Amino acid sequence: MQLLKDKIKTEGIVLSNNVLKVDSFLNHQMDPVLMMEMGKEFARRFQDKKITKVLTIESSGIAPGLMAALELNVPLVFARKQKSLTLTDNLFVEKVHSFTKQVTNDVTVSRKFLTAEDHVLVIDDFLANGEAAFGLARICEQAGATVAGVGIVIEKSFQPGRSKLVEAGYRVESLARIASLDNGQAQFVE
Amino acid sequence: MQLLKDKIKTEGIVLSNNVLKVDSFLNHQMDPVLMMEMGKEFARRFQDKKITKVLTIESSGIAPGLMAALELNVPLVFARKQKSLTLTDNLFVEKVHSFTKQVTNDVTVSRKFLTAEDHVLVIDDFLANGEAAFGLARICEQAGATVAGVGIVIEKSFQPGRSKLVEAGYRVESLARIASLDNGQAQFVE
C-alpha cells in the first residue's frame, strides 16, 4: 500500500536492523485518515471471505482493526493482554510471548464473542515472529471459528512470522512488507 | 445521544449499583458504526474549539478517540499505561489510580506529540471519579497545551468525576449520562 510505504519512508525511524519505530502515525500518535485507508484496503483484500468478525489485540491493533471492521460492516473484538489470570471463567485464553518486550502474556477473549459460525479476520499492527497472530488464531480455533485470514499493517519479512503462518495454512495480507532495515533504511519487498 | 442510550438499554448489563458492563459494544466487542456516530457527535459538540489533537488512554479510549479524530481531521494520541517506569526520558508521566481495578499506573505520552500550541480534546470511555481524565489533563498542562474539553462516552453521573472536572474549569460532554444503576436498571439523567 503506497500511502503507508510513503509514511514509513518519511516518518519511520529505524532504530536498529530489526526495530522500526512508527509511533508518529501508527502506535502512539495515529493518523486517522491513514487508518481509514488501511481499513478499506484490508476490506478490499478479504472481500471474498465472508468475514463475520474482526479480531485484534490491544492496544495498537485496535485502530486498524476498527477501520477494517467498519468497512466490512462487522463487529470488532479486541483481545486483552494480562500478566497472569486467576479467573478464566467464560474466557478463551492463550499464552503469547513478546520477543520485543521479553514477556509472556495471557491473551483473552470472552466466549460470548466468538462462535463456530464466525469467519474471522485477524488484524495486527506488526508481524515479526508471528506470536500474536498465532495466539489469536488459536483462540479462533478454540471457539471452532474459521480463520479467514491474517491482515498485518507492517510485516518484517526478514523475520519468520509470515512463513510460519503461511505454512500453517493461513492467508496473510500485509500492507507494507519490509525486506530489510539494514544501514538505517527501510527497504520494501518488491 | 439516543443511539448509545438505546444500546445501553438493550445490551448493557447492570452488575451492581455502580458497575455497568458494556463489553458487547464498547470495551471488548465493538460496534464500529456506533463508534463512527459517537465520533461525529464528539466532533459536533466541540466544533467551535479549534481542536488540534485528540488525546485518550489505552485501550478502550482508542476507538471513540480515533473516530472523533477522524471527524475533526486531527491526529489521535493515546497515552500508555504501565505498572512502573524506569526510563522516563522524553515522556510526560502522571500517576492515575483506578478505583475499579485498585491499581495506580504511570500514564505516559511522548513529549514529541503534545506542544504548547495544541488545543486538546480529551476522550475516554467512562467517567466515574475522573482519575483518568484528570491525568490526561495534567499531561496536557505539563506540555503547556490547552485542554479544549473532555468528551466521555458513558458518564456515571452519580459519581463525583463530572463535578470535579467542571469545578476545575473543564467543559465536559458525555454522550450518555447515567443517573442511577439501582434495581438492576440504567436510568439516564433527563
Interchain pair B63, A58: CB under 8 A: no
Q: Does a structural domain hold residue A108?
A: no
Interchain pair B76, A30: CB under 8 A: yes
Q: Does a structural domain hold residue A170?
A: yes
The dihedrals phi and psi of A148, each to the nearest 5 degrees, come to -80, -20
- Is A105 flagged in the annotation as binding? no
Contacts of B40 in chain A (CB under 8 A): none
Q: How far apart are CA A145 and CA A142, in angstroms?
A: 8
Is A29 touching B (CB cutoff 8 A)?
yes
The dihedrals phi and psi of A174, each to the nearest 5 degrees, come to -115, 135
Q: How far apart are CA A19 and CA A9, in angstroms?
A: 14
- Is B5 flagged in the annotation as binding? no
Return the CATH number at A131.
3.40.50.2020
Average confidence (pLDDT) over A68-79: 98
CA distance B190 to chain A (A): 30
Q: Does a structural domain hold residue A99?
A: no
Q: How far apart are CA A125 and CA A160, in angstroms?
A: 16
pLDDT digits (tens, 9 = 90+) for A175-186: 999 999 999 999
Which of B28, B74, B112 faces A78 most closely, judged by CB atoms? B28
Judged against a pLDDT cut of 80, whether residue A144 lies above it is answered with yes
Average confidence (pLDDT) over A134-142: 98
Res A36: pLDDT? 98
Q: Does a structural domain hold residue A103?
A: no
Integer CA distances (angstroms), A173 to A18, A46, A128, A165, in order: 20, 9, 14, 11
Judged against a pLDDT cut of 80, whether residue A27 lies above it is answered with yes
Which residue range(s) make up the domain with A8? Answer: 2-78+116-185
Res A96: pLDDT? 96
User: From A24, which residue of chain B is nearest by alpha-carbon distance?
Assistant: B113
Res B190: pLDDT? 86
User: From B29, which residue of chain A is nearest by alpha-carbon distance?
Assistant: A77
Judged against a pLDDT cut of 80, whether residue B101 lies above it is answered with yes
CA distance B38 to chain A (A): 13
| ipTM score assigned to the predicted complex | 0.97
Which residue has 473543564 as its cell numbers?
B170
What stretch of H or E contains A167? helix A161-167
Q: Does a structural domain hold residue A31?
A: yes
The mean-pLDDT minimum among A67-71, A125-129, B96-100 falls in B96-100
Peptide bond into B163 cis (omega under 30): no
Average confidence (pLDDT) over B115-123: 98
Q: How far apart are CA A47 and CA A23, in angstroms?
A: 29
Chains A, B: CB contacts within 8 A come to 95
Interchain pair A76, B70: CB under 8 A: no
Res A67: pLDDT? 98
Coil, helix or strand at residue B105: strand
- Is A129 flagged in the annotation as binding? yes
Coil, helix or strand at residue A190: coil
Q: Does a structural domain hold residue A190?
A: no
**Number of CB atoms found within 10 A of residue A147's CB:** 24
Res A190: pLDDT? 86
Residues above pLDDT 90, as percent of chain A: 93
Residues above pLDDT 70, as percent of chain A: 100
Res A159: pLDDT? 98
The mean-pLDDT minimum among A84-88, A118-122, B111-115, B166-170 falls in A84-88
Judged against a pLDDT cut of 90, whether residue A42 lies above it is answered with yes
* Radius of gyration over every alpha carbon of chain B, rounded to an integer in angstroms: 16
Q: How far apart are CA B168 and CA B60, in angstroms?
A: 25
Which of B23, B78, B82, B86 is most worth mutating to test chain A (most A CB atoms within 10 A of its CB)?
B78
For B92, residues 6+ apart whose C-beta sits below 8 A from its C-beta are B108, B109, B110, B111, B114, B139, B142, B143
Res A89: pLDDT? 84
- Is A156 flagged in the annotation as binding? yes
Q: Does a structural domain hold residue A155?
A: yes
Burial B161-186 (b: 16+ CB within 10 A, else e): bbebbeeeebebbbbbbbebbeeeeb
Residues above pLDDT 70, as percent of chain B: 100
Judged against a pLDDT cut of 80, whether residue A131 lies above it is answered with yes
Judged against a pLDDT cut of 80, whether residue B86 lies above it is answered with no
Which of A186, A150, A164 minimizes the C-alpha distance to A42?
A150
Work out the mean pLDDT of chain A and round it to a whole number: 96
H helices of chain B, in order, are 2-11, 32-45, 62-72, 131-142, 161-167
Res A109: pLDDT? 97
Q: Where does residue A144 fall: left (phi above 0), alpha (psi -120 to 50 degrees), or beta otherwise? A: left
Res B8: pLDDT? 98
Confidence of residue A83 (pLDDT cuts 50, 70, 90): confident
The dihedrals phi and psi of A83, each to the nearest 5 degrees, come to -60, -55
Is B24 touching A (CB cutoff 8 A)?
yes
Res A101: pLDDT? 84
Pairing of the two strands A172-180 and A146-156 = parallel
Judged against a pLDDT cut of 90, whether residue B87 lies above it is answered with no
- Is A137 flagged in the annotation as binding? no
Interchain pair B70, A36: CB under 8 A: yes
Judged against a pLDDT cut of 90, whether residue A85 lies above it is answered with no
Confidence of residue B85 (pLDDT cuts 50, 70, 90): confident
Query: How many domains does one find in chain B?
Result: 1
